[in-house]
Amino acid sequence: MKKDNIEFPEFWFESNLYFGWVRSIDDLNEVFKSYEGQMTKDSILDVAVTLKSNELTEFGMRREHKGDITLREFLIEKKIKI
């Protein structure tokens, strides 16, 4: 989905409460919504990291997600306002 002429960078998200493709801001808001009352949006953005040695762009909060890039850093780099 484009917002302000910026293409949303789709990625896979995997955690205990949400897993699936995130293809739009609406999908990303569903990730945040799935953690309401447990984690803040800011916590999710800073805790979710890439999965190392994966050919997909994948973020998550499971133990196998040990990458160096947080979801927040990724979205900032792609110029997505959060």
Instruction: Assess if residue 39 is contained within a domain.
Output: yes
Instruction: Assess if residue 29 is contained within a domain.
Output: yes
Helix boundaries (H) for 1-82 = 25-34, 41-47, 71-77
Residue keyed to tokens 């447990």? 38
Instruction: Assess if residue 82 is contained within a domain.
Output: no
Q: Which residue has the higher pLDDT, 55 or 63?
A: 63
pTM (predicted TM-score):
0.87
Instruction: Assess if residue 24 is contained within a domain.
Output: yes
Domain membership of residue 50 as a residue range: 2-77
Domain count along the chain = 1
Per-residue pLDDT band at 6 (split at 50, 70, 90): confident
Question: Closest by alpha carbon to 58, among 8, 2, 15, 11?
Answer: 11
**What's the CA gap between 58 and 14, in Å, rounded?**
8
Instruction: Assess if residue 41 is contained within a domain.
Output: yes
Residues 14-56 have pLDDT tens digits of: 999 999 999 999 999 999 999 999 999 999 999 999 987 667 7
Instruction: Assess if residue 12 is contained within a domain.
Output: yes
